[in-house]
Every structure is written in C-alpha cells, then in structure tokens.
Amino acid sequence: MNDDMNKYIEDFLSEANNHIKNMNLTLIDWEKAPDNKKNLQDIFRFAHTFKSISATMGFQKIANLNHAIEDLLDAIRTQKIPLNKCINLLFNCFDFLKESLKEISEGKPEPATETLIQQIKLVLSHDEKQMADLSTLKSLGTLEAVTSIEVKVDRLDKLLNLTKELLINKMRLESLSETIQSSELTATVGILNQTLNELQYHVMQIRLVPVGFVFDRFSRMVRDLAKQQKKQVTLHTEGRDIEVDRSLIDAISESLAHLIKNAIDHGLESSDMRKAKKKAAEGSITLSAKHQKEFVVIEVNDDGAGLDLESIKNIAIRRNLLPTSAAKLEVTNAIFSGISTTEKVTDISGRGLGLSIVKQTIESINGTIAVATEKGKGTQFTIKIPLTLTVILVLLVRQGKQIYALPLNSIERLINISRQETASLLHQEAFVYEQINVPLLRLSVLFREKVVIEERQSIVVLRKEEELLGLIVDTLLTTEEIITQPINPSLRGSKLFSGTALLGSGETILIVDIDELFLCLKSKHAG
C-alpha cells in the first residue's frame, strides 16, 4: 500500500471510528427516550455517512452492513418494529463494525458481515421467533482499552512547566549532594535523575506533532493559487510521520506557506512555457521531512525555472550587498537580504521582504535555512530545525565573575594552549587547528572587561557551517542540561545573548548567541 493510500486509510479509520462512537452514544440516549425522533435521525445520518465513505474506500462489506442498519432504522421509524425488540442487535452491529475497523487498521482483510445482515433480514421479515431471540440477545460490547485521548494544549504546557521546575530542583539537589558528601543523598539524587530523565522524555514525546499536520494545510492553498496564476501545479508530500514540537508548528507553517507561494508565483512556469522547454505541463512542488540527529530537516522542492542568479547578483551589487567578485553561494544567499527580481508586486509576492522574514523566523527557533538552485531545473529550500526548544545541552564557562552557557551543538572541540601558540594574523589573534588558521575572540573583550592574558588559555572551538571560531574564556566548567527561558527585557538591547537559564544553585545565566559571535568577528575584520 502506497503512502497516499495509507493517508486515506488513516483518514477513513478516524472518521469511521467517530461515527461508531456517536452511534453508540446516541443509541444509549435513544434507549432512554424511545420517542425522541432526533436520536433516530442522528443515527440514520451517521450510518448513511459511514456507508458512503466505506463504499468510496472499497470496503463494500462494511457498506452493506450499514445499508442493512439503515433498513432496520427505517422499520423502527415507520413503527413496523419496536426499538426495544432490536436494540441489542444494533449494539452488536456497532461492536462488529468497531472490530472490523480494528482489523483493517492492522492490515487484515475486511471481515464478512453476512451473519449480521441475515439477522437484520429475519427481523425485517417479522419472524416472531427471531425477534423474540433478539430481544434477549446479549450485547457483544466490551470495555476496550483506551489507547489515545485528546488533551488540551494548556494542560500539556502546565505539565511541561512542572517538569522544568522538577529539573531545576534536581540540579539544586545535585549541587547540595556535592557539598554535603552523603552517599545516601548521592544515591537518591541518582535515582531521581534517572526518573526525571524518563519523565522529561515522555513529556517531550506527547508534545510532538506529525509534520503531516502542517503539510495538509497547503493542499487547498496550492490549488487556489495555481488557478489564480493559471498554472497547473501538483503538491507532493514525503515524511509525513516525522514529528516536531508543537511550539514550532506556527513558525514552520508561515515559512513553508511563503516558500510555496514563491514557488508558484516565481518558480513554476506556465503550462505553455513548460511544454516549450519539453517539461511536463504540470509543475511539481514537493514537501519532505526527515530526521537528522537531533534535528528535523524539511525541504521545499520545485521543478521550475530556478533562480535568476545573474539578476540577483546585479541587484545585490547595485545595493552594495555583494562585491563584484561574489561567488555563486553568496549570490544565492543574497535572496534572504530583501532582494526581488520581480517587476510586478502582487498580493502573493514581489516586494522581496518575504524570504528575509522567513530566515529571521527560522533562526528565531534556532533553525537554519539554505537554498540551492539550478537554471531550468528548479529550486530547493532546506530548513533545519531542532526537535524541541525547551531543553538544550550547553557548556558552562566562567568569564570574570559570571557563568555563561554555550550551546553544545555549536562546539567543535575544547582546547587548552599556551599563549605562545597564538599569533597575530592580519591584526587578528589566531591559532592553528588541524592545519587551519582559526581566528580568536576573547569573551572578556566582547564584554568590555579587563583583558588578562594567562600563560595557558582555554579555547572553545565553535563551528557555524564551514566557518570556525576560537572563543577564549577564563575557565571551562562542565556540560549541563538547561531549561531555556526568554531573555530578560533589560538585556534585549544586547545581541550577544539568545536567552537565559536557571542553574541548580539558583543562579541565572546568559546563553551566548553563537551566530552573533561570528558576526562580531566579521565586523571586526571589516573594521
């Protein structure tokens, strides 16, 4: 069974199970108030819809049983048969349908429904013996194990916040354990740590949402925009089951929506133009998702004309955004600087600001975005986002009297070297790492503290894509799992920090923004 069919099966099962649930609940109410015609009408409606979607999906046996249920309900409606004589038969039909859906979900064939249909036919034939037997028939209904429930988002958020508080208190206990030196306390903290790790894992798991939940939002949008642009466009999705944190959904949705709009408006050619280029008349956009370590990678591909790199380069040079010697990668990335090659501004796009905002949005959730393009063949945007935003691994460092956090996923290596191993390169301190001259920044200089050059220096080698940077700090402390918090309003003027965290000691620390460190290095070079 292909992915598209799996999607439809899942949708069918979800809708069908809802119909069965509603039929059971309504029948219970109807049994209590047999004269209430609304209950009869509601069950009729549920059964009819269930029959239709079953037939559409090719489950004819289930459709036939629902048709028979409709016949039985009609006999009750016309007072040919009293409700009390066949209520257990109805319950048994609903239970059988429930079991049928379960078997289908497990990949088993559709079960036979002839026995129940035959029982309904005997009732409709006014077979008095059969009706007497049915009146005493026991319902087949059983209490099923509940495998899933709906939970309000605010309750999940409260649970997450409580988990954060527990983690913070665990850290305090760890600090206390180191001070007191009690073996019993150490053992207890160890058990607590193990339990909390498992709790944290499961809390994070229930916050995850399949990325297909986001992808499904775009089918109608693509259809409408394509018609508006008088283009033929098909949307394909891959990796729908990949899960992301619920808090990322809105950011992802808005960014993907803009990329798709751009692809339809600028990237994909008209049908006539595609035919002239010996392409399929129908343009294609593919949304895909996959795991990559602790990240989710989402790609937006189109098979359109590709970016007009020559026009982008000329515009960027005129605006002093790029030098005339700019390489292809620099030119391609310039589209995130507010450049538009479109002469006409539409409701969809054209001002050039959209991609700049997309980049800012993705980076605000600690993600990255990159673009690759080939003339005449299409464009690919690659978005890389963390699985979660709430808990991150960091390296704690001391600078002066303060402790700072450096995200562990940006750290290449920790090095301790002598002052003689550093040199000045083009007025910039540097050292040799794996035969490469790596520029150095001193945290003390960035924070405008008194610079003290020790005989031995602790260096954190940071990586951003292909760039390396050595950060000199006073002391390397330890790695820690921290709960990120928004930056204090009083510190928002400083771009060097991306957030704050609370240590077990109760001390609030600042999380250093790695991207900003690299920008500081570039501005230093420019100066």
pLDDT value of position 302: 96
Query: What confidence score (pLDDT) does residue 490 get?
Result: 60
Banded model confidence at residue 221, pLDDT cuts 50, 70, 90: confident
Q: Tell me, yes or no, whether 321 lies in a domain.
A: yes
Does one domain contain both 164 and 300?
no
In a domain? residue 7: yes
- 196 and 319 share a domain? no
Q: Which of 135, 162, 179 is the last residue of a domain?
A: 135
Same domain? 100 vs 131: yes
Q: How many domains is the chain built from?
A: 4
Q: What angle do CA 210, 211, 215 make, to 5 degrees?
A: 130
Mean pLDDT value across residues 442-463: 83
Task: Give the domain-ending residue among 109, 135, 161.
Answer: 135
Instruction: Give the residues across from 433 on adjacent strands.
Output: 436
Residue 28, pLDDT score: 82
Residues 354/262, Cβ–Cβ less than 8 Å: yes
Higher pLDDT, 331 or 247: 331
Q: Residue range 258-284: average pLDDT?
A: 93
Report if pTM > 0.85.
no
Mean pLDDT of 150-171: 72
Q: Output the CA angle 37-39-44, nearest 5 degrees.
A: 95
Average pLDDT of the residues in 114-125: 89
In a domain, 86, yes or no: yes
Q: Is the pLDDT of residue 190 over 90?
A: no
Token pair of 523, please? 């501005």
Q: Are residues 273 and 199 in the same domain?
A: no
What is the tens place of the pLDDT at every residue in 90-113? 988 998 999 999 999 888 888 999
Is residue 141 included in any domain, yes or no?
Answer: no
Residue 391: the pLDDT is: 64
Residues 462-486 have pLDDT tens digits of: 998 888 999 999 999 988 877 676 6
Calculate helix-pair angle for 114-124, 128-135, nearest 10 degrees: 120
Assess if residue 143 is contained within a domain. Answer: no
What pLDDT was estimated at residue 128?
Answer: 56
Convert the pLDDT of each residue in 344-384 to its tens digit. 544 444 434 578 888 888 887 778 999 999 999 999 999 99
> Given 190, 207, 224, which residue is the final one in a domain?
207
Pair 351, 446 in one domain: no
State residue 154's pLDDT score: 72
Residue 9 lies in a domain: yes
Residue 140 lies in a domain: no
Residue 488 scores a pLDDT above 50: yes
- What does the pLDDT average to over 15-33? 87
Average confidence (pLDDT) over 330-343: 76
Query: Is the pLDDT score of 341 beyond 70?
Result: no
Pairwise CA distance, residues 471 & 457, whole Å: 10
Judge whether 511 lies within some domain. yes
Of all residues in the chain, what percent carry a pLDDT higher than 70? 84
Query: Residue 200 sits in which domain range?
Result: 153-207
pLDDT digits (tens, 9 = 90+) for 122-157: 888 865 555 555 444 444 444 444 455 556 667 777
Residue-wise burial string across 257-272, b where 16 or more C-beta atoms lie within 10 A, e elsewhere: bbbbbbbbbbbbbebe
Taking residues 256-262, what's their average pLDDT?
Answer: 92
More confident residue, 392 or 300: 300
111 residue type, one letter: P
d(CA 75, CA 127) in angstroms, rounded, equals 14
**What is the residue-averaged pLDDT of the chain?**
82
Q: Is the pLDDT of residue 25 over 70?
A: yes
Residues 191 and 221 both lie in one domain: no
CA distance 229 to 440: 52
Give the pLDDT score at 261: 92
Tens digits of residue pLDDT in 290-322: 988 778 999 999 999 999 888 888 888 888 888
Give start and end residues of each alpha helix (H) in 58-182: 60-77, 87-105, 114-124, 128-135, 153-180
pLDDT tier, 507 (very low <50, low <70, confident <90, very high otherwise): confident
Average pLDDT over residues 512-521: 88
Q: Are residues 293 and 193 in the same domain?
A: no
Q: What is the pLDDT of residue 364?
A: 76
Does 271 share its domain with 292? Answer: yes
Q: Same structural domain for residues 457 and 478?
A: yes
**Residue 130 pLDDT:** 53
Q: What is the pLDDT of residue 406?
A: 93
CB contact at 8 A, 96 and 88? no
The contacts found for 192-201 with CB under 8 angstroms, 24 or more apart, are 196/163, 196/166, 196/167, 196/170, 199/163, 199/166, 200/163, 200/167, 200/391
Helices (H), 406-467: 443-446
For the residues 113-119, what does the mean pLDDT come to?
A: 90
Q: What is the pLDDT of residue 163?
A: 76
Residue 401, pLDDT score: 86
Same domain, 396 and 356: no
Asked if 277 and 237 count as a contact pair (C-beta separation under 8 A), the reply is no
Question: Residue 26's domain is classified under what CATH number?
Answer: 1.20.120.160
Phi, psi torsion values for 453, nearest 5 degrees? -90, 105
Share of the chain above pLDDT 90, in %: 24
Same domain? For 11 and 72 the reply is yes
Pairing of strands 243-245, 295-302: unpaired
Residues 408 and 505 in one domain: yes
